[in-house]
Amino acid sequence: MNQTRELNLPIGMTPERWEQILDEVEDVHGERMVLQMGPQHPATHGVLRLELETDGEMIVGATPQIGYLHRCFEKVSENMTWPQVVPYTDRLDYISSMNCNLGYALACEKLFGIEVSERVQTIRVLVCELNRIANHAVALGTYGLDIGAWTPFLLLFQEREHILDMFDELCGGRLLYNYIWIGGLSHDIPDGWTDKVREFIVYMQPKIPELNQLLSFNKIFIERLAGVAVIPDDVAIQFGITGPNLRGAGVKWDLRKNDPYCGYEAYDFEVPVGTGEKGILGDCLDRYMVRVWEMEQSLKIVEQALDRLDRMPRNDVKAAIPKSFGKVPAGELYFRTESPKGELGFYIVSDGKGKPYRVKCRAPSFSHLSVVSSVAPGLLIADVVALIGSLDIVLGEVDR
């Protein structure tokens, strides 16, 4: 008996009865029905098409069909100079573009042997953690909307607007930033900007308990998620699931702690994991709650980064940027960072010329989407919406 299938059985359904149903159901031309969910369905969170094979309201099979947003990221990158690739990384996970900029920049810096200043590292941590909060605000708000809660969606998007406004003042973009460059930043933070970030922290801290009262502890919301679409830790590891989805299964793995970069080892923060308190460890509710708790931890990191900046003298954030990328060291490497959705990795190959010979992006959403075919059988149609929303995928980095 498949463990995942058994855990996902509807209430009142025994494993024996489920196997009997599978034996009785005929082929696709008989009792089964194939439903096309997407690619314009709002609950697929992008241009994703799910091919659902159903027996009544029960899912028998689910096949994700991708490729509607393919933009040839990797091939385009191989025809651009090293710094010209940075704006293309913005378009991967366009909900958390700062983190995509960072992953590529750190990979190039390690390959080229570039060392950036502590001030640059601190600013990078600051903006990436703000972007993590913005990402989770979208994930949680749209998830509530998927389940049927309208007000939390408005609340969280309102909080996200404050971050986007600050990013707009910082680098002139609300969604796509091109801010973190290879060897530094496009420019330093403007005067008075950190004061606005501190005001945001004070403003945001009470909003998370408000979200919990409004949505997280809502009886209907809990009943819709608890025990639904369980992804056990061994299944998560087999499918390469990372980030909040892995931590939701109880695995305490965060690259900021386990393989730190940008000085994260010097920051004081916790790594939240799922508890299975309201349902089963690794269910939709655990994946949701991990993101709520991570917003609180990101606020702590942002506050520490601001304190560090206050003690640092201002210096040139472009000092380590090479004057020319026409001749760079040859070699190859894989570098990974903890993006809001999971492990974002870049495998890059240099032949010593001004353009990358090869750029490969390891996108977390791609791995997370792959688990749907294994977890969906046994769910009801309405629960597929809960499953997709709990994974927090973005098609920009699935299709690339």
Model-level pTM? 0.90
What residues have CB less than 8 Å from 248, skipping those under 6 apart? 231, 273, 274, 282, 283, 286, 287, 288, 289, 290, 390
Q: Which residues of 211-233 are buried (b: 16+ CB within 10 A; e: fewer)?
A: beebbbebeebbebbbbbbbbbb
Question: 180-181 and 58-65 as β-strands: parallel, antiparallel, unpaired?
Answer: unpaired
CA atoms within 13 Å, Cβ hemisphere of 199:
8
All structural domains of the chain, each given as residue ranges with its CATH number in brackets, are 3-65 (no CATH), 73-399 (1.10.645.10)
Altogether, the residues listed in the chain come to a count of 400
390, 291 Cβ separation under 8 angstroms = no
Write out pLDDT tens, residues 242-261.
Answer: 999 999 999 999 999 999 99
Predicted confidence (pLDDT) per residue in 341-397, tens digit: 999 999 999 998 889 999 999 999 999 999 999 999 999 999 999 999 999 999 999
Contacts of 351 (CB under 8 A, 6+ apart): 330, 357
What is the residue-level pLDDT of the chain in tens, covering all 400 positions? 344 444 566 556 677 776 766 665 554 445 788 888 878 888 888 899 999 999 888 999 999 999 898 889 999 999 999 999 999 999 999 999 999 999 999 999 999 999 999 999 999 999 999 999 999 999 999 999 999 899 999 999 999 999 999 999 999 999 999 999 999 999 999 999 999 999 999 999 999 999 999 999 999 999 999 999 999 999 999 999 999 999 999 999 999 999 999 999 999 999 999 998 888 999 999 999 999 999 999 999 999 999 999 999 888 899 999 988 888 999 999 999 999 999 999 999 999 888 999 999 999 999 999 999 999 999 999 999 999 999 999 999 998 8
Q: Which two tokens mark 209? A: 């308990």
Give SS3 for 216: helix
Tokens of 268: 């004081």
